[in-house]
Each structure stands twice: as structure tokens, then as C-alpha cells.
Structure 1
Amino acid sequence: MPSDATPLDLIAFVWFLGAWTAFTLVQDYLLTGRVAVNQHLTLIRSAWMERMLERDNRIMDSQLVGHTMNSCTFFASTTMLVLAGLVGSFGAIERVHEIMGGLSFTVRTSRELLEIKVLVLMGIFVFGFFKFTWALRQYNYCCALIGSAPLPPVPEAERKAMAGNIAAAMTLAVKAFNGGLRAYYFALAALAWFIHPGVLIAATAFVLAVLIRRQAFSRTERVISAQADALERGVTKQ
């Protein structure tokens, strides 16, 4: 570690990684039942795929999947541009260090510590790129699953099993895409480390609070939850 790295820098970095990892584990793997947006949408995707298997014309379904694939492509391309900029910054690291040291609101750091902070940002965006490209590949697999689905009428048991398989594959793609988006949120928090490690701690807490609110306490969550409840009631009546 650079000689000017303080215990607060280490605490802030551990808190940053811990908060990101904990949120991802809880949100993507540990939550059970319908308690947040992502869990509601798992049910909604299953209902969507069942409706898809009841339709002869599936143009709308392919367009909806294609729209999300375009989003994955956009973010993957944007991430590459960001990475190119970060790599290019190493060619002018002396100038960057001079500029950062001249700002009144940033803590003075050595060139070595500045390089580590830039490398952390690069690592975040590399992680995001892998997530977006993996999501894109998984959506391609979903296209194959949708394309192979039989035309109606499909027996109810077979329809539910196929809809569950396609919806599960789509949920995995969505998780990968969400992981890439999450990297952007935490990359913004990591920028605060250039100001001060204490600001990194606060920025990480802010990003975490924003993500939790949007997943579990937003108006959007209430609307999606109401739709999922309506779909569940419809399934129960059937």
C-alpha cells in the first residue's frame, strides 16, 4: 500500500466492497417471496411467457426482448468507452495528479494512491462490461427458447413448464443486466474516494439507500406489486 494510505482509506474501501457485495447477495440470491421489484417481476415474467405461449403472433414478445437487448448493447458499448478513457488517463497521470492536488476540495494523495483509485474504477467498469455482455448472450438464448416454443394450443401442464423455463432463463439475463447497472451506481460512489475516504463512506451509504428504496419502498414497487397480486389472484381463480 502507498505510504500515504490511511486506515480510513482501508475502512472506506472495505465498506464500499462489503456494501456492494452484501446488497447483491441479498437482492439476487437470498431474498425469498415477493418483497421487492425484482421478485415481483419474476412472477410477472412467468405470466408473460404463459400469455406468449397462448398467442399465434409473437411479434410483440420478440420486440420487447429486442428492446432489452439493445439496452445491454448500449451499456456494453458505453462501458468500453469509459474504460478507454480511464486507460488513457494513465498516459497523463502526472497531469491528472497535478490537477487533483490543486483542487481545494480533494485530499492530497501520492501518485501511487491516485493510480490505485483509477485502477479500482477500471475494475468496476470491467466487471460491468462482463455483466452486460453475459446478459446479452443470455438474452440471445432466450430468443432461441421463445423461437422454439410450440404454437397454441399447448396443454396446460406443458405450457406452464415451458413458460417457467423461459421465464427462468430471462430472469438470469435480467440479474446479469442488473449487476452491470449496479456497477455504474457504485462507480459513482467510488468517484467520491478522489475527494476523501470519508466521502466514499457517505457516498456508498447513499447509493445503497437509493437502491434499497427503489427496490422495496418506491411507488414503482407498489405499482408492480399490485400487478403481481392481480396476476396471482387470476391464477388462483383458474
Structure 2
Amino acid sequence: MRDIPLIDLIAIGWFLLLWVGYSLFAKKRARHIHCLSSILRTLRVDWMYAVTHKDQHIADAALIGNVERNVTFFASSTILVLAGVLTVLASSEQFVRVIDQLPFTVEQSPTLVLFKLAGMATIMVFAFFKFTWSIRQFGFVSVLLGMAPNMSRSTVSEEERDRYARNTAKVLDQAGHEYNYGLRAYYFALAYLCWFANPWFFITASAVVVGVLYRREYRSRVLRALLATKGYEPGPMPEHERLAQHAAVSTQVQDISEKKDKSE
């Protein structure tokens, strides 16, 4: 650690603070504010509830398989990136000479470069574990789709359909979250690359990544479009909607319950 300048220690501390802090912030905020995570949770419950009213689930399985292939692509790419980082580790001195020839770079010792490469390898390992765990959970969803109750089974009650929809959507939601964590690691890895040139670039790039993530998850046009499908508006959730989000109850099931209450 003595060979690492103070500004580099500050930069890596700032990077970790932003990454961990934003992840915690986004997870907590999703419970009270409309965002991509909250609306997708609702739509996944509605999707799984619709599955219980179908006799064929071929299209649904194809959709899950398509997402699973995307995650598999990123997992495979992560292994290739990790292999490249390990290769550079074996020839760090040549890598230092290449960096020194780039514009806006600062002088850095081989020890510092090794430290930076080890950090990049750690980020890739983290992303790989997130992607592979996401793949496994999408596989679990495929199993759940295979045993989904359908309209041909008249003995299946609405309560059973609701329970299936909520729990299957929860597994699907968790798979989506792990995929998102892996993608987020890629975003921050791009900011991390700036550290090889200049710690000030690294500090700036980390803040820019957080700004991009925040805008896409809370201020993007696609978020407004997704919210509009349910008649929601960007901003804080109303109390009744927040409770429904917490319970992960679909709109269809709530409507059915209300109709039953009125009929009684």
C-alpha cells in the first residue's frame, strides 16, 4: 500500500463508495419510487398470472430462453475479459510502457499497475458470479413454467393461480436483479478503465456512470412508457400501490377479489 499514491487510494475509495452506495440506494428507493425495477416487478407478476390462463406456454418459454441466452453471452464474455486481464498480469512491465505512451497519463509504478489489474480481475469475477447465478435462476423459471396450472385444469382455484404467479414472478424478478447487478459491474468496469490513465479521470468517470444509471432507471423515456401501461406516473408511489408492490399482488387478482366482495 505504501507504493500507492494517496490520490489513487482516494479514487478507489470513491469508486467503491459510489458503486456500493448506489446499489443500496437503488434497492431502497425502488420500494417507494417508480423505477424500472418496481414496474418490471409488477409486469412480471401480471405475466405469470397470464401464464396460468394459457393452455400452451411455448411463447413464454421462448421469451425466457431468449433472455437466458443474453445472460449467457455476457457470462462468456466475462470469462474472455478475465483471461485477457490475467494475460496482461503476466506481462505487466510491457503494459506499463504502453500506458506511459498514452496522452494524459500519469507516471505509475509496476506495483500500482498490478494492483489496478487485480482490481479489474475482481470486478470481472464478481460479474461472472452474478451472470451465472442469473442463468441458474432463469432455469428455475423454466421449470416453473413447465408445471404452470392452466385453463384446462378447472380444479385450479384463483388463489392457487395467484400464489403461483406471485412466487414464480419473484424467482423471475431475482434472476433479473442478478442480471442487472452483472450489467452494473460492466458499467463500473468501464469507469475503472480510466484509472489506468489518470486517477482524476477515474473519479470523474465513476460519477458519470452513476449519473447515467440513475437517469436510465428513474428518468428515462422507456420508464415512462412502461409506467403508462399500468396507468402510473413517474415519482413517488401512492400508499396503496406501495403496499401492493410489497405484497407482489397482481392487478388482475386484486380486481377479482374486489368483484367477489361486491358480489357477496
Note whether the superposition's TM-score is higher than 0.5.
yes
Matches of 1:128 and 1:178, distance apart in 2: 10
Corresponding residue to 2:213 among 208, 211, 214: 211
Matches of 1:192 and 1:137, distance apart in 2: 33
Corresponding residue to 2:228 among 226, 229, 233: 226
**What residue number does 2:83 align with?**
84
Tell me the SS of whatever aligns to 1:228.
coil
**Percent of paired sites with the same residue:** 38
**What residue number does 1:147 align with?**
146
Matches of 2:118 and 2:170, distance apart in 1: 35
**What residue number does 2:36 align with?**
37
Q: 1:2, 1:113 within 8 Å by CA — same for their partners in 2? A: no
Which protein has the bigger helix share?
A: 1
**What residue number does 2:246 align with?**
none
Q: Which amino acid aligns with 1:46?
A: V
Shift of 1:91: 2.2
Matches of 2:131 and 2:179, distance apart in 1: 5
**What residue number does 1:198 align with?**
200
Change (3 A) 1:235 1:228: farther
Shift of 1:179: 0.5
**What residue number does 2:67 align with?**
68
Matches of 1:205 and 1:90, distance apart in 2: 27
Q: 1:28, 1:175 within 8 Å by CA — same for their partners in 2? A: no
Matches of 1:67 and 1:186, distance apart in 2: 25
Shift of 1:197: 1.1
CA RMSD of aligned residues (A): 1.8
Larger radius of gyration: 2
Q: Which amino acid aligns with 1:132?
A: F
Q: 2:30, 2:37 within 8 Å by CA — same for their partners in 1? A: no
Q: Which amino acid aligns with 1:205?
A: A
- Unaligned runs of 5+ residues in structure 2 are 233-249, 257-264
Q: Which amino acid aligns with 2:5?
A: T
Matches of 2:48 and 2:33, distance apart in 1: 19
Q: 1:135, 1:176 within 8 Å by CA — same for their partners in 2? A: yes
Shift of 1:229: 2.9
- Unaligned runs of 5+ residues in structure 1 are none
Shift of 1:35: 1.5
**What residue number does 1:6 align with?**
5
Matches of 1:233 and 1:163, distance apart in 2: 12
Q: Which amino acid aligns with 2:216?
A: R
Matches of 2:20 and 2:38, distance apart in 1: 19
Shift of 1:150: 1.9
**What residue number does 2:237 align with?**
none
Q: 1:128, 1:183 within 8 Å by CA — same for their partners in 2? A: yes
Q: How does 1:154-173 map to 2 (within 5 A)?
A: 154-173=156-175
Matches of 1:45 and 1:192, distance apart in 2: 37
**What residue number does 2:182 align with?**
180
Q: 2:11, 2:200 within 8 Å by CA — same for their partners in 1? A: yes
Give the stretch that moved more between structures: 10-19 or 160-169: 10-19
Q: 2:71, 2:131 within 8 Å by CA — same for their partners in 1? A: yes
Shift of 1:182: 0.5
Shift of 1:55: 0.4
Q: Which amino acid aligns with 1:106?
A: T
Tell me the SS of whatever aligns to 1:55.
coil
Shift of 1:29: 4.8
Matches of 2:26 and 2:144, distance apart in 1: 26
Q: Which amino acid aligns with 1:204?
A: S
Change (3 A) 1:233 1:160: closer
Q: Which amino acid aligns with 2:116?
A: K
